[in-house]
Structure 1
Amino acid sequence: MPISLRTILVLLSLFFSLNFFCQTQNSVEFGTIDSLISTKKYRQAKRKITRFIGQQIPDSLNAKAHLYLGKIELLTGNLDVALSEYFKAKEHLDYLDIQDKINLFSGVGVIYSKSKNFEDAILNFREALQYAKKDIDRLKILVNLGGVSMEAGKGQVDQIYEEALEIAAGLKEPRVEAIIYTNLSNYYINQKSWKSAIESAQRSLRIRDSLKMPVSVITLNNLGYGLVNNGDINEGIKNYNKALEYANLQEKVRLLYNLRSANMAAGEYQKALEYYDRYDSVKNIVASKNYEQKIADIRAAYETAEKEKKIALLEAENKIRKRELVWIVMVSSFLLILLGIGVYFRMKHLKVRQKLEQSRLRSKFLRLQLNPHFLFNALQQVQFYIYRNERETSMQYLDHFGKLIRSVLEYSDSDFIKLSDEIAMLENYLSLQENAIAADFSFKIDCDPSISPEEISIPVMLLQPFVENAVIHGAKSRPENARVEVIFKRTKAKDKIAVEIIDNGTGIQNERGTLQHNKLHKSMGQDILSERMKELKTINQIPIDLNIDNASDHKKFPGTRVSLVIPYVHL
């Protein structure tokens, strides 16, 4: 597969589409604001614009001010706010000059592109293109339009890039030509036009070599991919290996996978297996780093929020002190008492908001904790299967296991998951267990026909720990005919479904209301899950009813039934 060009497209978007306001008004105020933005002093610039808008100013200046605010919010990653500011500027579109209109529609196009709303992104870039008469402006817009059209799977991408190449050649911008040819090679790969993909990648590399630009891993990968699919496997492998020398961890994952596929196609199965082992190792390192980065991002967000709250609190306190001084002089003690009551409720409101924010952050931490617990138990099963020394089957098993892990990571940042996707994940996990345990193990997932799994969603990663425990601590305790069933039923209560997870293992024993030592409540996943259910009730107002009892009256293997009643959300 070709390496994604999203990183390059984002950089081009920032370089081309966010370079707004080259010609500002003669106003000293706007000149100062522009200087603050160029030096990345966004907070100071935003304060000046906010005060400026608060004054009585003409509509033309008001539109210009909202354009500046839109740019600042876009540069700081606040896409929703940025879009709102651009729409405010658009209300006074007739007062904007040609360059401002180009910047306005280009900025909106960038926002929609980042939000993966490619249809609206394309419309706005084409609107900007209608106003663009200068070659440099058209080049900026065409590069963005080509990238978005390619991601949206629209036609005429090659025509858009051809026009961009013609303009770049006229402007003598070979670096931009090199990037466009790389993008074209990726487009032709998606179209399976291997010869065109090879030619575009080779042109990009020739330009880069002539300019002594850094090695492009993406371009080399695209060239290798095109060559392999065009039948020149050995030459393709050479380009993959050359790219591998300069690749970062994320790029190595894709290159190693491509090398494995290329060697398989060449009949070099031993080399293919070696590359697959390296691919699996690097992929695990990347997953670990991503996990650590998520935790670091949450911590950074929490610390930033705390700092901003302290600043806001200090500002609020300063305002209150000034008001108190004025009221002491101008009003009676009765009004001062009312002011004190107002301050009390204001502070209480801030504390409630702070606790809610902390609760949300704790919820994210708990979801992140569930994934390592699941990975630990699942990897034990993978290791057990590999130890059987069945190499070909082991590779297939690892491939299935990789799909399951990618699904878990994909939904690790989500609050809810479609019921159909949750069922697919559970079925994938139980299928792996069915292969790993023995032929005596079987499972069944049954969903009431009156339930539409595609139209409802439930809290993510809620059922996985229960199913995992049903397999590990339930079904595995039985020497033969081990079985796990997952049943989804509709309840009489509105917007709720019932879930039963049943195994035929050794069951539970009631002793002062507790479970035996190896059951669910003692596992790490259950501790986290209990806390998560509390958080779901606190934050999302989602109470979950849980009951655990024996599944049958069998003396030795009564089994365990975990019953949950879960509120769901309509999609």
Structure 2
Amino acid sequence: MQVKKITYLFFIIFIMSLHIKAQDTIKDKKAKVSLSKSVEKLERSIDTNDDFKTAKNYEELALVYQKKGDLAKAEEFYKKAETLYTKLKKVEDKTRVTRSIAQVQERQNKMVPAIQSYESAGRIADDEMSQRLNYNDANRLRNQSNPKAQSDYINSNIQLLEEKSKDKSVREFKKEAIKEEVANAYVKKAEADLSAAETEEAIESYKNALDYVKDDTEEAIKIKNKIAEVYKEENEYEKALTIQLNLLDEARKNKDFETEIKQLQEVAEIYFQFNQPEKGVQSLKESYTLATEKGNSKEVKNSLNQLVAYYKSKGNDKESVLLYDDFLTHFDEIVAADSSLIEDKVFQISEKKILQLEKEKALKDELISKKNRFNYFLIGSLALLFIFFALIVKALYAIKTKNKKIALQSLRREMNPHFIFNSLNSVNQFISENKELEANKYLSSYSHLMRNMMENSNKDFISISNELEQLKKYLALEHLRFQDQFEYQIRIDEQIDAEVTFIPNMILQPHLENAIWHGLRYKEGKGNLLLQFQLLPKKVQITIDDDGIGLTQSQALKTVNQKVHQSRGTTNTLERIKLLNELYKMNISFSITEKEAPETGTIVVITVPLLDKI
């Protein structure tokens, strides 16, 4: 019956071990943040879509897990932080987190990934010290079978870190991080020393590490326990016991009940090895009682298991049954007092919420990404349509401009046949009157004039000097022909630089021709023709002034064909001016007026904007 009862109780304990969550209270006095608070902060940052704060909170939560001993979770959250720092291009933060990933991977004995992470941190680091630290650690892991090489790489890191900690330009919070790194390096050195069976050196390395964690009680306790473990391995139980008892006293003074419970278990183990079982049992019972009072279910189980194991080894089932009875009696109290169970349950809910928020954020990001891709596609399509439309408009504008230039050229050439016809008539007249010398002279001047006109026929604008050269030859020809009918003058403002000032090509000749052929030619007596270039503000005014018979009388004398030609000559000028204004975005003006009685004649005024380049 007693055996059945014991079996039943063992079954209950087994079931409980599956359901009771392990408690590991966070005591990071430096961070002063609990698991639940870290989760709450993370929830807020994810909910507000603040990537930088989210990365910081992932890192903080990973550190909480790291101190709690849940290295897999720590690695998971460090990697999430690393992803966000990469996205945000935060090089320093990414370097730090990637190194943390390497460290938790190393503690999980995932050596190949740890080496890769250390090397990655070294590659992305933007300062020489971080590069060397990470590459040294990568090489240290590559030399696990060579403790001497490992120690060399660790010593190199210690030297780097200690030099940096003395740098006055380093900010205080960074100095704290450097101290942690130095302490970790000394712990690694101690482990390398132990691998080389150099116990004294290992203890010295642990003691050096203690110098850098004086303000971190939890880390100091861990290192002191490691020293005690070394002494136990060397069968120096008195030294190990001294360390554990000192830690126990400190825990009691500081009312650090969790540490007190654990140290009682450590002390009990030494007592058992030291052949003092009574003291060992007493320490375990104290540990069990305190754990029960404080609702620390994990340590209740640990203390209970160690006591039962001892009693079983001694064949004392009665004491085991009494312990289980006591445990069952206080079971409800333990569960009610164990805040870790509530915290773990809350965290499970929060973790699910975090996952849900992450999924929602990922979905939102995906929707935004799709929307952005659509917007980019739409913008790209519109841009292509705009470019296509612009090219069409440009092509149409080019065609329109080309057509205008063709029309302009056509209008210029339209004046030439009439001029050629009149000139050939003059040659014919000289020949019929047996004036061969005049005919030869006329033909020579005419050929030079035509050559100049042909050379400039494709130009919309020419310099005043070139235009004057042609007009002088033209007027000389007409004067040779009608020398008894008129005299002419050409005046140019001294302020005008005729070489670099431009006017429309072939726009004056038709009006000079009209003045001679339809005004001065029919005047009784000799008339006068004036061609004048005058500089006005930002423009040049060209005046053709004759004292011929005037527009009205000339119109009465003309044949129907002559009327059509004169009308076409004026229309041609107006059309050319309109095209020039459109093509070159300028304001050329044209006017023709008849002088009032008693004066006779016509005044043509053409105003051109001052041009020094075409």
Is TM more than 0.5 here?
no
Bigger radius of gyration, 1 or 2? 2
Shorter-chain TM-score category?
0.3 to 0.5
Please, what TM-score do these two structures have when normalized by structure 2? Answer: 0.35
TM-score by length of 1: 0.38
